[in-house]
Amino acid sequence: MPPKFRLIPNLPGGDFRVRDFGWTKPTADPSVGVLVEFDPLSNTPWVGNFAPGGWTGHCSALPFIDGRRVVVLAAGRTYLVDPERHRVDAELSEFAVDAYEATEPPLLIVNWHGICFEAYDASGMKWRTRRVSWDGIQNAEVTGSILTAETWSAPYLRWVPVSVDLHTGQATGGAYDFPDAANDETLAKS
């Protein structure tokens, strides 16, 4: 059974343990962070106060594909949290715009900086697509082992479709077609 969690707007009443993550200095004001309440199966409830990235306004939390951990998106920063141990196992990205779950194969897919996708499995990053957009991705949807989305073309001022094979990270289509598009691409072996 996965752990229970929820985003909260402010600290709940009672004696909750608050843990700060991602801050360069201790913060006395938890209202400036992204607050997530965790209710682990074998532990007492606690609240994580996650430092936001400031790059995007998107904040959410979703179960990680291993069924044990939770992914917290905090305005661009992406934390992989172990609620049982009250810790962050990894910071996956500082530029996450959104994240999506895939079940076949089981992956967490991150819209990275609005220009490409990254996929993570239980052991870490599995692949990164080539750059597929100039500056924006919308309407991403996972169906089976394919992710589809629309990518922004700055030169033509229009949205261009892209599809990504979730087993490999191979992208087909997309708006960005300059020679440097594959510079940071990392494909998985199929």
Same domain, 2 and 80: yes
Same domain, 128 and 89: no
Same domain, 68 and 158: no
Q: Which domain holds residue 54?
A: 1-94
pLDDT at 31 over 70: no
Instruction: Give the integer Cα–Cα distance in Å for 95 and 35.
Output: 19
Residue 3 pLDDT grade (very low, low, confident, very high; cuts 50, 70, 90): confident
Q: Give the pLDDT score at 169.
A: 98
Residue that is last in its domain, among 94, 129, 158: 94
Q: Is the pTM of this model over 0.75?
A: yes
Instruction: Give the integer Cα–Cα distance in Å for 32 and 15.
Output: 20
Same domain, 110 and 164: yes
**How many domains does one find in the chain?**
2
Instruction: Give the integer Cα–Cα distance in Å for 133 and 116.
Output: 7
Q: Give the pLDDT score at 147.
A: 98
Side chain identity, residue 16: F
Residue that is last in its domain, among 94, 127, 143: 94
Same domain, 47 and 81: yes
Task: Report, as an integer, the average pLDDT of 115-133.
Answer: 96
Same domain, 105 and 87: no
Side chain identity, residue 156: Y
Q: Give the pLDDT score at 44.
A: 87
Same domain, 173 and 107: yes
Residue that is last in its domain, among 94, 109, 135: 94
pLDDT at 27 over 80: no
Task: Name, in order, each residue with C-beta under 8 angstroms of 32's C-beta and a sequence gap of 6 or more.
Answer: 52
pLDDT at 179 over 70: yes
Q: Give the pLDDT score at 30.
A: 63
**DSSP-assigned beta bridge partners for residue 39:** 4
Instruction: Give the integer Cα–Cα distance in Å for 44 and 101.
Output: 27
Distances (CA, A) of 72 to 53, 134, 149, 170, 172: 12, 26, 22, 26, 29
Task: Report, as an integer, the average pLDDT of 89-113.
Answer: 93
Same domain, 2 and 36: yes
Percent of the chain with pLDDT over 90: 77
Same domain, 100 and 184: yes
Task: Report, as an integer, the average pLDDT of 35-39.
Answer: 95
**pLDDT, tens digit (0-9, with 9 covering 90-100), for 47-73:** 999 999 977 889 999 999 999 999 999
Task: Report, as an integer, the average pLDDT of 143-168.
Answer: 97
Same domain, 59 and 147: no
- With CA atoms as reference, report the closest residue to 109 among 148, 153, 135, 81: 148
Same domain, 76 and 138: no
Same domain, 72 and 122: no
Q: Give the pLDDT score at 28.
A: 61
**pLDDT, tens digit (0-9, with 9 covering 90-100), for 17-26:** 889 999 887 7
Instruction: Give the integer Cα–Cα distance in Å for 42 and 103.
Output: 26
